[in-house]
């Protein structure tokens, strides 16, 4: 396995602290942190993964991840080179590389008077990450807009999959068995002013109801059927509860914020506490929405 990275055209870093790449500002060192330059680089990494049975994880914008304090063995890939950040418009559709930040796609569509993405305004993350977990609100999710997705599988085949062949559920998709390369989303023409207005409204609602000043990964739990995890945790009286540097946000109880040098361990303990209290009070089992890498 000596010096396998010599063949890479992209960037590689060794023992890279994941806390610098997650919105939680938490996470120990990734053994290999790679930003592939293109598909050829990505194929090289996939070959290594199979040959040496190395774990390989794809990091989007790091906005929905809780990474272990002890770090991770193997390869963490970030699709942040220009190759994975291309955007093109075709009629009323937008085709975006998986590494494009969601807010950029939303803004480019707005500038062209293309509507559909407004409901995601204020969501952090990349378009690939959003797709992988079928990000959305209670009314809509990104799956509603998908036309087709281009992926690479772990046998190095690149293929384009039509929407009908993809399974989407609440915050999940069958795309997790691939690495997403790009996606084509169907939008609709609309008055630019109206699009702007809706985006502004969404951003404002978030600013009013969510803690956007301290590091976090957004909502830590999925909403249970017909309910709100935030409301339940709030009704358990847990706002402001803390374990070392990790605190249940005073603004939104489904947010855990990193007030000061919180560790993954602290966040997990606080999540356990919230789960236990909600189970006891409401008989409801909460499932994590954030991805736990350990
Ligand atoms: N509520 C409380 N106390 C709280 C938090 C919320 O009583 O501490 C109440 C609110 O007053 C409201 C209800 O619970 O009546 C729902 O709250 P909110 O509108 O904030 O929506 P949510 O279901 O908690 C979802 C998404 C958010 C997304 C918002 C706004 C999930 C798990 N969460 O939150 O997504 O930003 O809607 O669209 O689906 C995320 O995915 O990371 C995330 C934050």
Give 59 Cα–ligand 1 centroid separation in angstroms.
24
* Spatial distance between the Cα atoms of 274 and 272, rounded to a whole number of angstroms: 5
Domain containing 50 — which CATH number?
A: 3.30.43.10
Inter-residue contact 263 to 244 (CB < 8 Å) = yes
Residue whose structure tokens are 């996939």: 46
Q: Which of 194, 219, 249 is the last residue of a domain?
A: 194
93 and 177 fall within a common domain:
yes
Range of 138's domain?
86-194
90 and 76 fall within a common domain:
no
Probe target for ligand 1 pocket from 123, 230, 247, with the most ligand atoms within 8 Å of CB: 230
Closest ligand 1 atom number to CA of residue 230: 5
* Residue 219 beta carbon below 6 angstroms from any ligand 1 atom: yes
Candidates 244, 239, 249; CA nearest to 265 is 244
97 and 173 fall within a common domain:
yes
Number of domains in the chain: 3
Give 230 Cα–ligand 1 centroid separation in angstroms.
6
For residue 1, being part of any structural domain is answered with: no
Could you list the pLDDT tens digit for every one of the 294 residues in the chain? Answer: 668 888 999 999 999 999 999 999 999 999 999 999 999 999 999 999 999 999 999 999 999 999 999 999 999 999 999 999 999 999 999 999 999 999 999 999 999 999 999 999 999 999 999 999 999 988 899 999 999 999 999 999 999 999 999 999 999 999 999 999 999 999 999 999 999 999 999 999 999 999 999 999 999 999 999 899 999 999 999 999 999 999 999 999 999 999 999 999 999 999 999 999 999 999 999 999 999 999
Domain containing 240 — which CATH number?
A: 3.90.78.10
Handedness of CA 149, 152, 153, 154 (dihedral sign): negative
Domain containing 188 — which CATH number?
A: 3.30.465.10
Which residue has its alpha carbon closest to ligand 1 atom 33? Answer: 219
122 and 166 fall within a common domain:
yes
For residue 269, being part of any structural domain is answered with: yes
What pTM did the predictor assign? 0.96
């Amino acid at each position: 396995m000596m010096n396998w990275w010599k063949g890479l055209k992209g960037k590689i870093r060794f023992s890279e602290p994941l806390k610098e790449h997650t919105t939680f500002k938490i996470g120990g060192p990734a053994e290999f942190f790679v930003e592939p330059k293109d598909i050829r680089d990505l194929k090289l990494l996939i070959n290594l993964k199979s040959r040496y049975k190395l774990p390989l994880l794809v990091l989007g914008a790091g906005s929905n991840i809780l990474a272990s304090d002890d770090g991770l063995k193997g390869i963490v890939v970030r699709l942040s080179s220009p190759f994975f950040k291309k955007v093109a418009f075709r009629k009323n559709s937008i085709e975006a590389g998986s590494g494009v930040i969601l807010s950029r796609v939303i803004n480019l569509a707005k500038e062209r008077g293309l509507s559909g993405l407004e409901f995601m305004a204020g969501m952090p993350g990349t378009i690939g990450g959003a797709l992988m977990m079928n990000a959305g609100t209670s009314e809509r999710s990104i799956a509603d807009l998908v036309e087709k997705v281009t992926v690479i599988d772990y046998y190095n085949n690149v293929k384009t999959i039509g929407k009908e062949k993809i399974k989407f559920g609440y915050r999940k998709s069958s795309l997790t068995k691939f690495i997403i390369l790009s996606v084509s989303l169907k939008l609709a023409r609309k008055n630019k002013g109206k699009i702007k207005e809706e985006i502004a409204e969404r951003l404002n609602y978030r600013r009013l109801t969510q803690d956007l000043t301290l590091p976090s990964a957004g909502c830590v739990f999925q909403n249970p059927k017909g309910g709100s995890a935030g409301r339940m945790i709030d009704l358990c009286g847990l706002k402001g509860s803390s374990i070392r540097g990790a605190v249940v946000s005073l603004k939104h109880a489904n947010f855990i914020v990193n007030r000061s040098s919180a560790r993954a361990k602290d966040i997990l303990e606080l999540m356990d506490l919230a789960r236990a209290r909600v189970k006891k009070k409401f008989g409801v089992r909460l499932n994590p929405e954030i991805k736990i890498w350990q």
